[in-house]
Amino acid sequence: MDDIYMLADTIIFNKIGGNLKAARLKQNITQQSLADAADISLSSLKKIEKGEIGSFDSLLRVLRTLGKLDVFQPLVKEEQLSPSEYYELVHSIKAKHQRKRASKQINPQ
């Protein structure tokens, strides 16, 4: 595989579009059916498959419909804290929320 950092943006877009088209064909889905299921126009899908990705929203819809949205999993995954980082976080929050003074007077009744 090519080093993705060495590829021009247009080449990356073309590869993404080609792979999406291949995934669609492998699942035996027509362009019209995929466009309808993803709630995008047929012309938008055709552009995406040609590598003309103009809308990230449309790309996400197509990926979700094809079951390929997991490519973004590393980007949406929350980073796990180490035990020492968790301890520091909890104690910094507790220190910020310590009461400085009473909020009400004692009711004499």
Residue 19 lies in a domain: yes
pLDDT digits (tens, 9 = 90+) for 38-89: 999 999 999 999 999 999 999 999 999 999 999 999 888 877 778 887 778 7
Residue 46 lies in a domain: yes
Which amino acid, one-letter code, is at 89? Answer: L
Residue 100 lies in a domain: no
Residue 65 lies in a domain: yes
- Considering only CA atoms, which of 72, 71, 89 is closest in space to residue 80? 89
Residue with tokens 């009711």: 107
Give CA separation, 104 vs 15, 55, 94, 100, 101, in Å: 66, 55, 22, 13, 9
CATH number of the domain bearing residue 49:
1.10.260.40
Using a pLDDT cut of 70, give the percent of the chain over it. 84
Question: Could you tell me where the DSSP H helices lie in the chain?
Answer: 9-26, 31-38, 42-49, 56-66, 73-76, 83-96
What is the span of the domain harbouring residue 58? 4-76
**With a threshold of 0.85, does the pTM exceed it?**
no
Number of structural domains (the chain) is: 1
Residue 10 lies in a domain: yes
Residue 92 lies in a domain: no
